[in-house]
Amino acid sequence: MLEEAPVSVYEVGLRLRGKTVLVVGGGSIAGRRVPRLLAAGAHVRLVAPEATTTLSDLAASGELHWDRRAWRPGDGDDAWFVLAATDDPAVNAAVAAEAEARRTWCVRADDAEASNAWTLAATEFDGVGVAVHASGDPRRAAAVRDAVAAALRAGEIAAPRTRTARPEGGSVALVGAGPGDADLITLRGLELLRRAEVVVSDRLAPQELLDMLGDDVEIVDAAKLPYGRHTTQEQINAVMVERALEGKFVVRLKGGDGFVFGRGAEELDACLEAGVPVEVVPGLSSSIAGPAAAGVPVTERGVVHDFTVATGHVPPGPRSLVDWASLGAGNGTIVLLMAVKNRAAIAAALIDGGRDPRTPVRIVESATTKNQTVRECVLSDLGVTEAHHPSVIVIGAVAGRGREL
């Protein structure tokens, strides 16, 4: 028996900015397709008696126009593209037939064979878009799309930029790399890192990320070791600005999120004052990711409804801007960063402020990495419990409810 020949299609990218797209049906399929249409700049007109919460929210915010009724002939008169996505095949067929008569491309979500256009399984990374079809088999197309996307992100498929692709002049991206595991950097952060000509990296940024960079990328070590070798913030600011003014694209790669005790604001100010274009890419902060990696929620229903993140690099006293007495008097979760050296003094200040000496504590060291270590104690023993940099210290009832992961 001969196998059926694959369906031939002509792949094309539609530039829909400013053009009307008719979407008939307000269910889950429309809910998945509409955000992509909006991202492409289309004017989406939704025709459906009911719609998902996502679609109704988009309509309420004015991002799309919603006619709350059943489809009627003529609804697609002004449409450049049509999506028939109701749960009634007869309605979808009527929508597609009208579009065909008007020579308008229409995707039937319920019947690929009867559709004169297909929505391809698409992904985008670092300015490269990839769309896949598998002769009408959406699951197979999605599987190939996901494999290509993973290979692009891992650098297994090269997508080099030409010299002309770089905009005139230099710029800086302040990228938070996440709490430790290289996989936890955001897609945007990874995309910009792959474009970098200069990377200014600190010691808490996942070093595996640097291994994927080309040999022509300049890597500037901006390590700030606690109580050891130290690069001043002024030096870091200067090298970022200097390289950008030379016309290069600079990524400042920082562990966690640069705007959570990371002096990212100072780096942002330095770029703005020098007239250097700058983008901020938030990172997953260790203040929340660290506890989560150890199975500790910073808040939990019925247990605690607030949490405070504080830096412990300055001990309690006149130099500290933290109101330790108020934290001691409260019952919310306390998350401490950079507090290993001063943990004994901090524990004493919290107890003096009223916090129970038996309050549970968890110390999460090297969170999210293969070297992650979790230690438990109570507040009165925090000063004598082993702890090493980098550690996140969690104080409060939730620390006693951590799950073993």
DSSP-assigned letters across all residues of 311-347: E-SS-SSTT--S-HHHHHHS-SEEEEES-STTHHHHH
Question: What tokens were used for 11?
Answer: 């792949």
Per annotation, catalytic residue among 202, 248, 254, 257: 202
Other beta carbons less than 10 A from residue 401's beta carbon? 15
CA distance 274 to 237: 10
CA distance 339 to 344: 9
Report the relative pairing of strands 20-24 and 81-84 from DSSP bridges: parallel
Q: Which residue has the tokens 């996942």?
A: 206
**Phi and psi dihedrals of 282, rounded to 5?**
-60, 150
Report the relative pairing of strands 218-221 and 198-201 from DSSP bridges: parallel
Question: What tokens were used for 171?
Answer: 């710029």
At CA 164, angle to CA 124 and CA 210, rounded to 5? 60
Q: Which amino acid is at 22?
A: L
For 204, what's the count of Cα atoms within 13 Å in the CB-facing half-sphere? 28
Per annotation, catalytic residue among 88, 224, 323, 356: 224
Q: 202 catalytic, yes or no?
A: yes
Q: Which amino acid is at 273?
A: E
Q: Which residue has the tokens 């006149």?
A: 318
Distances (CA, A) of 76 to 21, 29, 187, 211, 405: 8, 19, 37, 52, 53
Question: What tokens were used for 21?
Answer: 């797209």
Q: What is the CA 169 to chain-centroid distance, rounded?
A: 27
Name the residues annotated as catalytic: 202, 224
